[in-house]
Chains A and B, each alone.
Chain A
Amino acid sequence: MASDTGASYGSTLRYKSVERIKAVGKHSLIGASGEFSDFQEILRYLDELTLSDHMWDDGNSLGPKEIHSYLTRVMYNRRNKFDPLWNSLVLGGVKKGPKGEEKYLGMVSMIGTHFEENHIATGFGNHLAIPILRAEWREDMTFEEAVKLVEKCLLVLLYRDRSSINKFQIAKITTEGATIYPPYSLKTYWGFSHFENPAQGAVGSW
């Protein structure tokens, strides 16, 4: 999972070192876009949930599917009360089931729409990143290949989404656990000839 580390306040890019992807329990990652304070509230709910699950200490633990379902219920119920949590949530995880390792990736929207897919994106990612992922995703990618693909998407979003910033975080979840890598930037290229003297060929009244 990857996201940038920016949080805006209207059109102001107010916070630039925000972690938008967090580990949940032993088996999942949650990433969010939208209202950051609502995301913090959701993290609090998940904390309570995973804590009581952990306290059982009975060998059972909540997997990504259970957490996805739970969040769907929360989001949908809030929507029905006309008081939504204004987020798009991405839930990913890996859990060992009786038939082997089961990978899971899904999303929940602020109105409770939820589904499971091999590639998920929020906001502008739906329009810019998903087509790239649909064309180039394969079931048997290595972690390095996946990072490269995700960076390709992030770069497009950086160029074209004005609310994105050039500081990203990648997060990985496997049966061994979750890793959230430190933030880093991507190299961008702005040396196009048209940017040098943008008004050169412009048709204008003065």
Chain B
Amino acid sequence: MFRNQYDTDVTTFSPHGRIFQMEYAMEAVKQGAATVGLCSCTHAVLVASNKPASELSSFQRKVFRVADHVGVAFSGLTADGRVLTKFLRNECINHAFVYEAQLPVSRLALRLADKAQVCTQRSWKRPYGVGLLVAGLDETGPHLYYNCPSGNYFEYQAFAIGSRSQAAKTFLERKFEGFNKYTPEQLIKDALSAIKETLQGEKLTSSNCTVAIVGRIEDGTAEPFQVVDTKRIQAIIDSMEAAEEAPAEPSSMQEEDKGSDAAPMDI
């Protein structure tokens, strides 16, 4: 994307009908650390990869609980994400106060999208530079939404955003058809595998990813949105690696074949 005379503010269209400031905002999302979300018919999982700003600092927190039944993970300008999380929490609390019930996830996603749209149509504002994956549970089941800085939002079975997310998306595209029947454990495993694709060779450990899950178990009880404990994540990662190493020789041959046939990974 190159600089041009139509990209100064968000209230200017280009002759081809594009609003460049909005597209630049979406670029900001692509530069952030990767985040992945998946849904089955009982649970929704969010995984964020944790990138510390420097070796000395802690990593930026990107997964937040919005209400008992909803949480978000975001990529991009994380400060914008924090502010939007506060907004989402407020919306859920207000709804719960008046109706004593949980705000359905689709309606929450819409309110967020409407708020984002306002910023694309005011000359004195700028779009939010963060893409949010909203995962939640309501009476129609678990849902995953992706909210764009443009004000658009879509429901997904699985999605990945942020840098090197195309690798994760490719992985998810291969496997998403089976997600509905997954157990929560399998869902977390595949989410971790997807995030692993974005790490480009770096080792996946429980300290460089955050996993959160929300869903409903068989007897109808809801499991609230919560970040999964690091010990459990490390145990799952270890079991994933053990499963990979187990069929040692045949798999090393297969990997070489896969290497030449696989689509080039988008960076």
Interface residues of A (CB under 8 A from B): 56, 58-60, 62-63, 65-66, 68-70, 73, 97-100
Contacts and interface: CB of A to CB of B under 8 A. Distances in A.
A66 B101 contact: yes
B17 interface: no
B140 A58 contact: yes
Contact of B107 (A56, A63, A66, A68): A56
A60 B138 contact: yes
A65 B221 CA distance: 18
Tell me what chain A mostly uses at the interface: helix, strand, loop, or mixed: mixed
Given A60-B140, A98-B139, A69 B216 contact: no
B100 A65 contact: yes
Contact of A66 (B100, B216, B219): B100
B220 interface: yes
A58 B139 contact: no
A99 B219 contact: yes
Contacts of B100: 65-66, 68-69
Nearest to A74: B98
Interface in B83-99: 97-99
Given A98-B216, A99-B220, A100-B220, A59 B140 contact: yes
Contact of B98 (A60, A63, A73, A98): A73
B138 A62 contact: no
Given A56-B106, A97-B220, A98-B139, 6 more contacts: A58-B107, A59-B139, A60-B107, A69-B100, A98-B216, A99-B220
B205 to A, nearest CB: 36
